[in-house]
A and B are shown apart, each in its own frame.
Chain A
């Protein structure tokens, strides 16, 4: 079985995100970058599946991103992925979700695949569009926001628990399929020291747009960011105090009713 795992390099969740001087994006200096948090669940699910099926199954990481993405690719390889494709091209500096999807579709099509795992969204642009665009371009089904995943005995189909409001939708799907993963699907493993040593020898194939047969970034220019904005300033917190706790709580309830008008 050929398992593809998608990977994106994003700012750390703790990072302070500031707008750059030109107002065209974020300031990257001093920001630590990590594997997109949700992608970790995709990597783990891919490796787990390979371990379960055995045979000649293989996990290939596919990452579209700047040169510096090699670092997160190596981490995924150290966790246990077999090899990687790194799509890196100056024309893909800030791709739209569908540009990313079209480029990934081409690269993944060339690799061949039975199942694709990815995170339910990037924690940078937060669009959650790439996986669905990719599914359409590869003409395969999609299951988004997976909290559980089970492959059938004969590996011909899967049952995926898709999280929706108020419950879980149990989805039966044929393969190939793309599954986007949510926290709770599994416990991502850490890269072990031997894993890290081994990862150094694993192959990362770098691809440019030209290598993939594109003259220019597909679907680029269909939208434009007009402005980056900081959040509106929040109000001060009103601390409710009293000699007795019960009086403070009474006052809080009163404020919620009379001032906030929420009760």
Chain B
């Protein structure tokens, strides 16, 4: 079976995503046991420049597909280009970030090349010669270890912020230009425009720090309190479903089972009770701080640090204290 790994070098707005380094590190877990090599592929506007950023990470080669047709992401165009490379070069493993793009592109491409696919994995290892992927199921209430059977290219999307990123070495890899083979006619659905989230803060699914508010926030204006704290870290503001449904925050900010799954270094839950559906979205945060009036709120069972009291009193003081520490 083919042992070589292909890492999808996701770009957004012409910039390579942080998760790509983590994917390369995951690729090394595979090739250390199987003896294969790791290549990366970058597509669309900016790919040539951004290829430089991964040149020292121990890749064999970096394929750059800078056709104009790939400047805007389209499932069909990207899947066609990716499938073409896999068929031609015979990759055994294809690694993508478990991002909006990776989770859209991975399964479509896998179906094209008769692959198997494991989505949203949090860990990879090799047992004997078999890849074993670990992934959460039932909204993170359980985990499974899953392994491919038979001779199929194996696609894995990996949840960002889970694997230590690959470090730099001296070896720089070859950058090769490649035509994509994609034509306009192949694309029936295409992005015409990207409307940014209002607020100008990073997305909860990408932020290292999230300050979230629940029903206790009482109205939308009070979310400014959380924003002030989040901004100290360049972080994001999140919300519980109760806060979204009450109109205090927009849907894209919702964290949880019917919101986004987040994985930040620090999650500060303000006036959030900690319902099971909320926990489903944030329980893997590295450090969880809970601020709640109710000492019996279930959020304290999952938090690492808790403080009982009124968030309207606590959050502004915390913001000041952290500001002092950061200066």
Contact = CB atoms under 8 A, between A and B. Distances in A.
Contact of A223 (B111, B146, B196): B146
Interface string A131-145: 011011100111111
A177 to B, nearest CB: 7
B226 to A, nearest CB: 15
Interface in A158-199: 159, 161-174, 177, 182-184
B116 A98 contact: yes
A263 B325 contact: yes
B145 A226 contact: yes
A222 B101 CA distance: 24
Interface in B185-205: 188-197, 202-203, 205
A126 B116 contact: no
A174 B116 contact: no
A133 B107 contact: yes
A170 B104 CA distance: 15
A2 B286 CA distance: 47
B300 interface: yes
Interface stretch (B25-33, B163-171, B309-317): B309-317
A67 interface: no
A69 interface: no
B162 interface: no
B317 A246 contact: yes
B246 interface: no
B116 A223 contact: yes
B176 interface: no
A166 B191 contact: no
A161 to B, nearest CB: 8
Interface size classification for chain A: 35 or more
B71 interface: no
Contacts of A235: 304
B245 to A, nearest CB: 10
A262 B197 contact: no
B301 A237 contact: yes
B257 A129 contact: no
A210 interface: no
Given A126-B138, A249-B317, A240 B118 contact: no
Contact of A239 (B189, B192, B277, B308): B308
Contacts of B135: 126
B138 A124 contact: yes
Contacts of B177: none
A166 B108 contact: no
Interface string B234-249: 0000000000100000
Interface stretch (B48-56, B217-225, B258-266): B258-266
B307 A239 contact: yes
Nearest to B266: A262
A13 B283 CA distance: 15
B14 to A, nearest CB: 14
Given A126-B120, A174-B188, A165 B100 contact: yes
A249 B318 contact: yes
Interface stretch (A53-61, A84-92, A253-261): A253-261
Interface in A212-263: 221-231, 234-235, 237-241, 245-246, 248-250, 252-253, 255-257, 260, 262-263
B1 interface: no
Interface string B258-298: 11000001100000000011001001001101100001000
Contacts of A231: 140-143, 283
Contacts of B252: 147, 163, 168
Nearest to A250: B321
A225 B205 contact: no
Contact of A37 (B118, B257, B290): B257
Contacts of A7: none
A163 B317 CA distance: 34
A177 B76 CA distance: 12
A150 to B, nearest CB: 13
B302 interface: yes
Interface stretch (B59-67, B84-92, B148-156): B148-156
B199 to A, nearest CB: 10
A35 B73 CA distance: 32
B73 A169 contact: yes
A123 B138 contact: yes
A255 B108 CA distance: 46
Give the one of B118, B119, B120, B134 with max A CB within 10 A.
B119
B195 A38 contact: no
A75 B108 CA distance: 31
Nearest to A163: B252
A223 B132 CA distance: 10
A237 B197 contact: no
A17 interface: yes
14 contacts: A144-B100, A163-B100, A165-B205, A173-B189, A221-B149, A223-B149, A227-B145, A228-B144, A229-B144, A230-B142, A239-B300, A249-B314, A260-B305, A263-B326
Interface of A: 11, 13-14, 16-17, 19, 26, 37-38, 96-98, 101, 123-129, 132-133, 135-137, 140-145, 147, 159, 161-174, 177, 182-184, 221-231, 234-235, 237-241, 245-246, 248-250, 252-253, 255-257, 260, 262-263
Given A159-B192, A169-B193, 7 more contacts: A126-B136, A161-B195, A168-B195, A224-B149, A228-B143, A241-B307, A252-B289
Closest 10 CB pairs of A and B: A184-B251, A173-B189, A141-B189, A136-B111, A132-B107, A253-B321, A164-B100, A129-B107, A165-B203, A141-B188
